[in-house]
Amino acid sequence: MKRILFAALFILPSLFANAQVCEGFVKDAKTNQPLPYVNVGIIGKSVGTVTDSAGRYKLNLTGHENDSLKLSMIGYAPAIYKIASFATDAHKTILLQPSTTQLKEVRVSNRKWKEGILGNDSKSDNSNAGFRSNRLGYEIGTVIKIKKKPTYLKQFNVHITDAPAYPVKLRLNFYSLNKGMPDQLLQNQNIYVDVMPGQKDIQVDLQPYSIYVDNNFFVSLEWIANSKGRGLMFSAYLSIFGSGAVISRETSQASWEKVGIAGIAFNVLAEY
């Protein structure tokens, strides 16, 4: 009897640990359609992922019973769950409620607008910074300073130092700043970027998204789909006093961190 009891006590924690691997689908609450590329992760921790093209997610929540899980995507109200209750159902379909995000109204004067490049436009292949893995939700970017407000963002640019051997799918994000770190998303639509094998430059037309900024902002690229390759590197430069240091987070909903003293050569064509 004692041996049976001991075996039961040994097996139960193992079953509980396995139950912490949660998987399922994220769908639109109104249409019931699967939602691709939703950010799913533990708030402030490096445990997260992104739903695939069919809205599927899979995440190991073991040891995080006291933390909270957040799901978010542009166009939907974020959903937050206490992991202690969320993990009781290992196969869960989550419904996100659509929401409308209004861009800030911009009053444009009759001033003469000037077009120029903001950020660093290096195309050097000798120094680089970027994705050192293909972990889903991995996000990397830099702060870009404006010259006059309002500033209209027309095109995003960056040079790839090593052309990828496999297709890579990224998401381009623009954030406001709070104490020098990324805060709230500035756009109201997802901006997807497909990088093809052999491609050496990324250029994204931003005019369809009508993004105006009144202050310095943060721009990032986010790894959102599995790829056979590992990582993707971009032109970089020495950041004096760390003012243009790379800022990144390891996965969805993780905390932002400044990384090293190198700056990543993200830049935008803008009117101001």
User: Residues with Cβ < 8 Å from 185, sequence gap 6 or more?
Assistant: 74, 173, 174, 175
| Domains identified in the chain, total number | 2
Higher confidence at residue 259 or residue 222?
A: 222
Q: Is the pLDDT of residue 132 over 80?
A: yes
Of the candidates 123, 136, 162, 133, the one whose C-alpha atom is nearest the C-alpha of residue 40 is 136
pLDDT at 17 over 50: no
pLDDT of residue 10: 44
Mark whether 199 and 86 lie in a shared domain.
Answer: no
Q: Does the pLDDT value for residue 255 go beyond 90? A: yes
Mean pLDDT, range 91-108, rounded to an integer:
80
- Residue 109 has a pLDDT of 65
The whole-number pLDDT of residue 101 equals: 67
Residues 214 and 81 in one domain: no
CATH number of the domain at 198, please: 2.60.120
Residues 64-83: what's their mean pLDDT?
Answer: 97
Mean pLDDT, the chain, as a whole number?
90
Tell me the CATH number at 85.
2.60.40.1120
Q: What is the pLDDT, as a whole number, of residue 245?
A: 85
Specify if 174 maps to a domain: yes
Q: Give per-residue pLDDT as tens, 196-251.
A: 999 999 999 999 999 999 999 999 999 999 988 778 999 999 876 556 789 999 99
pTM of the predicted model, to two decimals? Answer: 0.90
Residues paired with residue 23 on neighbouring β-strands, in sequence order:
58, 91
pLDDT at 82: 96
Residue 140 lies in a domain: yes
Q: Band of the pLDDT at 58, cuts 50, 70, 90?
A: very high
Q: Are residues 39 and 159 in the same domain?
A: no
Model confidence at 260, pLDDT cuts 50, 70, 90, reads: confident
Buried b (16+ CB within 10 A) or exposed e, 181-205: ebeeebbeebbebebeeeeeebebe
CA–CA separation, 146 and 271 (whole Å): 10
Residues 47 and 176 in one domain: no
CB atoms within 10 A of CB 208: 8
Nearest CA among 27, 63, 26, 25 for reference residue 47: 63
Looking at the fold, whether 135 and 249 belong to one and the same domain comes out as yes
Residues 123, 245 share a domain = yes
For residue 157, being part of any structural domain is answered with yes
**Percentage of the chain modeled with pLDDT above 70:** 88
Write out the residue range of the structural domain in which residue 263 sits: 115-271
84 and 133 both lie in a single domain: no
One domain, residues 77 and 136: no
Evaluate whether residue 102 is within a structural domain.
no
- β pairing state of 267-271 and 115-119: antiparallel
Q: What is the pLDDT of residues 149-172, one digit of tens each?
A: 999 999 999 999 999 999 999 999
* pLDDT exceeds cutoff 50 at 25: yes
Same-domain check for residues 267 and 187: yes
Element (DSSP H or E) covering residue 22: strand 21-28
